[in-house]
Amino acid sequence: MIEFQQNNQYFLFNTDSLPDIPEQWFDATFWQQQGRIIGSAKGRGTTWFIHTEDILGFNCALRHYYRGGLIGKINQDKYRFNQLEKTRSFAEFSLLNQLYLANFPVPKPIGARVKKTPFGFYSADILIEKIENAQDLTALLQHRSLSEKAWQHIGALIRQLHDLQIHHSDLNAHNILVQHNSVNEKYWLIDFDKCGQKSGNSWKQENLNRLHRSFQKEKTRMHIQFGEQDWAQLLTGYYA
């Protein structure tokens, strides 16, 4: 992992070699001019999917950090700068790298940028591995149900995260990815912005409750195939 500064920009890279002009890697327009944009996903902002397989051995996803809520209508993407390691992109990059090195199924972090702006603020970007042939769990559940074994596997995955004392502050059904291949399905957790290590155990039940509410909400909103027997199987996997 390489960390360095160029003028008002700070970079983290998890690559064998550094790009000649590092800021270009965090600029969707640059990738578009190279004809390397292969897709996008809409959320609070746009996540861009980039063809980098010939450069890195896999494709990437580029995300800019945007504010939500009422403050986001006034201040779209600027955050108060205090400590570099606590900035949104550097913190998420470091946490993802910790989990990746622990063989937990998260996208590999590739790069992070913090760009200082006037009056003590910054904007941020992160570049991570794109999980191929994957969809979020709610998209799959709109079309079919999961087996008992699959629900148990998801529960075991969350237990593994909790055993590492990592609190996923936005644990919901959309942040579980299902990757399809010729042999089986693999489950991944994504979106670790504002997440981190947390001591003790009291928070873990509320983390599970949050996920349960998310499934219930999407059963009503998106008509996903989910029932209390599925949740019971997830808990079976969690407490196994």
Active-site residue identified among 170, 191, 193, 230: 170
- Cα–Cα–Cα angle for 105, 94, 85, rounded to 5 degrees: 160
What would the two tokens of residue 148 be?
Answer: 């008992």
pLDDT for res 44: 72
d(CA 126, CA 120): 20
H or E element in which residue 3 lies: strand 2-6
Torsion, Cα of 200, 237, 212, 131 (10° steps): 90
CB atoms within 10 A of CB 216: 15
pLDDT for res 11: 97
Residue type for position 131: I
Task: Tell me how far the alpha carbon of residue 76 is from its chain's centroid.
Answer: 20
Decide if 20 is catalytic: no
CATH class of 134-239: mainly alpha
pLDDT for res 72: 66
Q: What is the pLDDT along the chain (240 residues), one digit of tens a residue?
A: 899 999 999 999 999 888 889 999 999 999 999 999 999 988 777 899 999 999 999 999 999 999 877 776 788 889 999 999 999 999 999 999 999 999 999 999 999 999 998 889 999 999 999 999 999 999 999 999 999 999 999 999 999 999 999 999 999 999 999 998 877 899 999 999 999 999 999 999 999 999 999 999 999 999 999 999 999 999 999 999
d(CA 222, CA 16): 42
Contact 207, 167 (CB under 8 A): yes
Q: Which residues touch 187 (CB under 8 Å, ≥6 apart)?
A: 105, 137, 150, 153, 154, 157, 176, 177, 178, 179
pLDDT for res 70: 76
All structural domains of the chain with their residue ranges: 2-129, 134-239
Q: In terms of pTM, does the model score above 0.85? A: yes
What would the two tokens of residue 235 be?
Answer: 């808990």
d(CA 114, CA 123): 6
d(CA 74, CA 221): 29
